[in-house]
Amino acid sequence: MPDAIFADPRLARIYDAFDGPRVDLDLYLGIAAELKASRVLDVGCGTGSLAVLLASSGIEVVGVDPAAASLEIARAKDSRVTWLHGDATSLPPLSVDLATMTGNVAQVFLGDDWEATLRGVHGALRPGGHFVFETRRPERRAWEDWARAKPRVLVGVREQLELLGVNLPFVSFRHSYRFPDGSEIASDTTLRFRSRAEVEASLVRCGFSVVNVLDAPDRPGKEYVFVARK
C-alpha cells in the first residue's frame, strides 16, 4: 500500500509544492542523454516530475506507480507518457534502454519486495540496458536531520515532520499536514537503509552487473547513485 503522502488525493495535489525544485533530476537526464536512451521506464514515477522532463526531450517514457492519486496528477501533466498503475512486478513487455528510480523509491522496499522489484526491472530492460537509482548512505544518518525538522507552510498548508523510530536498517517517520479548513492528514513512512555492499550484492543476484557508483551532485556525500547494466 502506498503511503498517504502519495495515495491521498488531497496530499497528492500539494506534493510537488512541498517537494520543491527537483535539481536531483538533472543527473538522470544527463545519464539518459549519455546513454542515448530512446525508451525509459520510471519506476515509482509519482507525480511524474522526471517522466515529463524525459518526454519533453523526445524520449518515449513509461511511468509506473502504485499510487493512483499521484498518477492522476501525472496524467494531467503530459499525455505523451504511458502512465501505468502498478509496480515493477506487474509490467507488460517493454524492452527499454534505461530504467530509473529517483528519490526514496529504492528504500521503500523493506523485504523480499526489493529483489522482486529488481527482477521486474531486469525483465523490462533490453539486453545491455541500464538501471540507475539512488539510496541514502546509512553512515550519514539522515534521520538525525529529520528529528530536527521545523514546520513548513506552503500553499496554505502546514507540514510537520516527526521521527517515529530508528531500528536499523529501518527508519520510520510521519508527515502531518494541516489544511486551512482545520482538517489534518498524517502519512507514515518506513525506509530501509542498505549498505553499498548489500545493494551491489542484491543487484548481482538479480542479473545485473554494477557499472559505477556515483555521488549525487546535489547532495554530495549523502547518497549513492548506482548505475547497473543488464
Q: Where are the domains of the chain?
A: 4-137+195-229, 139-191
Tell me: pLDDT of 1 over 80.
Answer: no
| Fold entry, domain 4-137+195-229 | Rossmann fold (3.40.50)
Domains 4-137+195-229 and 139-191 share a fold: no
User: What's the one-letter identity of residue 134?
Assistant: E
96 and 124 Cβ atoms separated by less than 8 Å = yes
User: What is the average pLDDT across 146-158?
Assistant: 96
Overall average pLDDT of the 110-115 stretch: 97
- Domain 139-191 fold: N-terminal domain of TfIIb (2.20.25)
Band (94; pLDDT cuts 50, 70, 90)? very high
Of 2-11, 103-112, 124-133, the range with the lowest mean pLDDT is: 2-11
- Residue 86: which region, alpha, beta or left (left: phi > 0; alpha: psi -120 to 50)? left
208: left (phi over 0), alpha (psi -120 to 50) or beta: beta
